[in-house]
Chains A and B, each alone.
Chain A
Amino acid sequence: EDQVTQSPEALRLQEGESSSLNCSYTVSGLRGLFWYRQDPGKGPEFLFTLYSAGEEKEKERLKATLTKKESFLHITAPKPEDSATYLCAVLPGAGNTGKLIFGQGTTLQVKP
């Protein structure tokens, strides 16, 4: 069964304290892995797509990496405005018509 697990569930950081969020997955083939950011009262906002092991994408203080079994979202010198819930989702391969499998998310709080 296709599955996505994110850890930790919650993370508190001081401003400037770098850390990483983990997304582990088991899927029948991987067509893509997506990272989203969700602010309270808002819908998930697309951040990155990763397609193959070894790929990396960066945006401001965020960098996403991908291996064959997991993805990391590295946050360098975070600021309070980076506080949000970060969601990971995978698009399985063969036989799938576009249905994403989402993890439960990691809620990040960055204190000034």
Chain B
Amino acid sequence: DAGVIQSPRHEVTEMGQEVTLRCKPISGHNSLFWYRQTMMRGLELLIYFNNNVPIDDSGMPEDRFSAKMPNASFSTLKIQPSEPRDSAVYFCASRNRERGLNQPQHFGDGTRLSIL
């Protein structure tokens, strides 16, 4: 079975540019999570969706960040305008919530974002 698929794997762009990260969850999973990982702060939850609906976006750093989930098989995380402090690895994870909240989350291999 295909795992969580993220694209691009690497992104290098200049400050002020718009960045769009993409995620395809595991088929049949109905919860989707966006995380950011840095050496200083570890893994931080940015936002998560249940059945395509945003449930908790309290981790989104500021208005420059936005996330959408237009259907069960696709989600985007957008940063506009980007800043150097946004440089990090961004992970997407999905979970089969139908089996219970304590089902494990399964992660993609992340997008390494560098803002110059």
Which A residues are within 8 Å of any B CB, using their own CB?
31-32, 34, 36, 41-46, 49, 51, 87, 91, 96-100, 102-105
> Which residue in B4, B43, B91, B101 is a CB contact (below 8 Å) of A31?
B101
- In the complex, what residues of B have CB within 8 A of residue A87's CB? 43
Bound-state Cα–Cα, A103 to B56, Å: 20
Please name the residue on chain B nearest to A32 by beta carbon. B102
Check B12 for interface membership: any CB of A closer than 8 A: no
- In the complex, what residues of B have CB within 8 A of residue A99's CB? 45, 48, 56
Bound-state Cα–Cα, A32 to B95, Å: 14
- In the complex, what residues of A have CB within 8 A of residue B43's CB? 44, 87, 102
Chain B: number of interface residues, binned into ranges: 20 to 34
Q: Can you list 28 contacts pairing A with B, beta carbon distance less than 8 Å? A: A31-B102, A32-B102, A41-B109, A42-B109, A43-B93, A43-B107, A43-B109, A43-B110, A44-B43, A46-B104, A46-B105, A46-B106, A49-B102, A49-B104, A51-B102, A91-B102, A96-B101, A97-B50, A97-B56, A97-B101, A98-B31, A98-B50, A99-B45, A99-B48, A100-B45, A100-B105, A103-B42, A105-B42
7 closest A-B pairs (Cβ-Cβ)? A43-B107, A32-B102, A46-B104, A102-B43, A104-B42, A98-B101, A43-B109
Within 8 A of A (CB), among B78-116: 91, 93, 95, 97, 101-102, 104-110
Bound-state Cα–Cα, A10 to B106, Å: 24
Q: Report A37 CB to chain B, min CB distance, Å.
A: 11
Q: A42-B109, A91-B102 are in contact. List 20 more A-B contacts (CB 8 A).
A: A31-B102, A34-B104, A36-B107, A41-B109, A43-B93, A43-B108, A43-B110, A44-B91, A45-B107, A96-B101, A97-B50, A97-B55, A97-B101, A98-B50, A98-B55, A98-B95, A99-B45, A100-B105, A102-B42, A104-B42
- In the complex, what residues of B have CB within 8 A of residue A43's CB? 4, 91, 93, 107-110
Please name the residue on chain A nearest to B55 by beta carbon. A97
Residue pair A44, B97 in contact (C-beta under 8 Å): no
